[in-house]
Amino acid sequence: MLLMTLKPWLAISILFSFFLSNVIGAFVGINIGTDVSNSPPASDVVALLKARQITHVRLFNADAHMLKALANTSIEVIISVTNNEVLGIGESPSAAADWVNRNVAAYMPGVNITAIAVGSEVLTAIPNVAPVLVPAMNYLHKALVASQLNHQVKVSAPQSMDVIAKSFPPSTATFNSSWNSTIFQILQFLRNTNSYYMLNAYPYYEYVHSDGIFPIEYALFQPLSAVKQIVDPNTLFHYESMFDALVDATYNSIEALNFSDIPVVVTETGWPWAGDSKEPDATKENAETFNNNLIRRVSNDTGPPSQPKNPINTFIYEMFNEDKRPGPISERSWGIFSTNGSEVYPISLGSPGGISGNSSRAFCVAKPGADENKLQDGINWACGQGHANCSAIQSGQPCYFPDTLQNHASYAYNDYYQRMRSLGGTCDFDGTATMTTQDPSSRTCKFTGSSSPGGGVFPPAAFGPIGQISRSSTTRSPVFVRTVVVLLALLMLDVNVHFVF
């Protein structure tokens, strides 16, 4: 029996983790890279995350500006030890402790940090550092234990599909034997710390490298004809997508090393929307199809054929194009948003932020394609002489994104019109405005006159990867609920709480 005395704020975090992790389904998060020219201010990036109801992000480093901006948002955050940092941390427990103190403890509990990703595909990207990867993970975990943060913050290390010798058929997949010793140690660490396997899985690359063996529909989650069905000959499992097959290949590789209780989280996947002449499948149409179908697939809360009860929590690569990356055009064309907050292509991630068409009210909005100089003049007049309240379209506010003249003009025009129409105000603005019955509001940006709730309400974040949870487990007994209420009352009074396990 273990008796623990926890700080009140930490006890609250653990209590809510336990309570919410059983009622929240699979999530789709997003990666935020570092090789971006003219990256928006961190406050604007977080405003976009909130506007689109994105509740999970993975940072490719531990950027102080982003972490400060993420404070008090409830957004779950995976922060990363960069590949350049792995060696130093793997050779020095004190370096690991310093890293945790500076990049984790210093920001909690305000920032909802839930995991540390140690490096990026270290085994295949920088194999000479592989011998210290597991020591680095261990040292970081021990530093979290010393700070009483290990219950909330997990440690893992993202790996590419290249560590698996042959991914199809999934039932026979195994890790590359040259990495067996290191991967065994990683899996042992993950099991001992109740963490999860971080997988970077890209059907785009698997499809391109298959030289036509697999149809593109299989890579894009599209229906397969009877003659194109993909079946594992050993299990007779039907695979409707390459994504599912890659996740199952990973589960089977883990099982081949006699581990069966480690969940898989896909920390990177996606599809490039542009490429050069040798990359004909890197198109906006394919990227839109892949990512929207991915979101639908993950959202159904089921796992791959061999693990149907394990939802596939997933992070899309990536938020903005990392335009400073070397290589072919496709390497710089994975972003789903432009740096002004507009979509590169339509995507259903989070809240759509667009028009909802069930309103009987009338709104004054900017005409599509209107002259930009006239739009700017219209904004200036509406927000000035017109006395429209334009605070919501300022940087960092709910209606700032998309950061376009069209969006800002629509908000300003409508606010003016709704305030002044009873006094003779019109919807014209030198021919750049038009009336519509479609409500332009999103969940976080409420236009004046809207009957929708608006106002920045978004669903609570899931606390950590979701394991094997049955639907029946989401119902709590009255005794449990009363216990939660009592504990919260004690914690709010700053009473030390003792947990007995």
Residue 209 CB: number of other CB atoms within 10 A? 9
Does residue 495 register a pLDDT over 70? no
Q: Provide the pLDDT for residue 476.
A: 38
122-174 pLDDT, tens digit each: 999 999 999 999 999 999 999 999 999 999 999 999 999 999 999 999 999 99
3-class secondary-structure state, position 495: coil
Please name the residue ranges forming H helices in 91-241: 93-100, 122-125, 133-146, 180-192, 203-209, 216-219
Give the pLDDT band (50/70/90) at residue 22: very low
Residue with tokens 């695979």: 239
191's tokens: 């099991």
3-state SS of 55-113 is CEEEECCCCHHHHHHCCCCCCEEEEEECHHHHHHHHCCHHHHHHHHHHHHHCCCCCCEE
Element (H, E) at 199: strand 197-200
d(CA 64, CA 320): 19
pLDDT tens digits, one per residue of 59-110: 999 999 999 999 999 999 999 999 999 999 999 999 999 999 999 999 999 9
Closest CA to 237 of 310, 189, 170: 170
Spell out the domain ranges in the chain. Answer: 25-337, 363-436
Q: What percent of the chain has pLDDT over 70?
A: 82
Question: Residue 331 catalytic?
Answer: no
Query: What CA–CA distance (Å, rounded) separates 266 from 313?
Result: 6
- Is there a contact between 168 and 188 (Cβ–Cβ < 8 Å)? no
Residue 389 CB partners (closer than 8 Å, separation 6+)? 415, 419
Q: For the ranges 186-190, 196-200, 343-347, 377-381, which has the lowest average pLDDT?
A: 343-347
Dig out the tokens for 66 from the structure. 């982003």
Catalytic residue among 76, 85, 206, 268: 268
What does the alpha-carbon distance between residue 313 and residue 464 come to, in Å, rounded to a whole number?
9
Q: How many whole angstroms separate alpha carbon 438 and alpha carbon 432?
A: 17
In sign, the C-alpha dihedral spanning 216, 222, 224, 230 is: positive
If phi > 0 it is left, if psi is from -120 to 50 it is alpha, else beta; for residue 324 that is alpha
- CB burial of 246-281 (b: ≥16 within 10 Å; e: otherwise) equals bbbbbbbbbbeeebeebbbbbbbbbbbbbbeeebeb
**What is the spatial distance between Cα 13 and Cα 18, in angstroms, rounded to a whole number?**
9
303 pLDDT above the threshold of 90: yes
**Residue 206 pLDDT exceeds 50:** yes
Among the listed residues 121, 288, 318, 322, the single catalytic one is 121
Which CATH superfamily includes the segment(s) 25-337? Glycosidases (3.20.20.80)
pLDDT digits 0-9 by tens, 419-472:
887 777 788 898 898 887 778 887 778 888 765 433 322 223 333 333 333 333
Q: Which of 117, 216, 192, 125 is nearest to 163 (CA)?
A: 125
β 76-81/56-59 pair status:
parallel
318 is catalytic: no
- 500 pLDDT band (50/70/90 cuts)? very low
Nearest-5° Cα angle at 315, 118 to 166: 75
* Total Cβ atoms within 10 A of residue 228: 11
Check whether 401 has a pLDDT greater than 70: yes
pLDDT in tens, 260-295: 889 999 999 999 999 999 999 999 999 999 999 999
The pLDDT tens digits of the residues spanning 475-488 come to 333 333 444 444 55
HSE on the CB side for 103, CA within 13 Å?
26
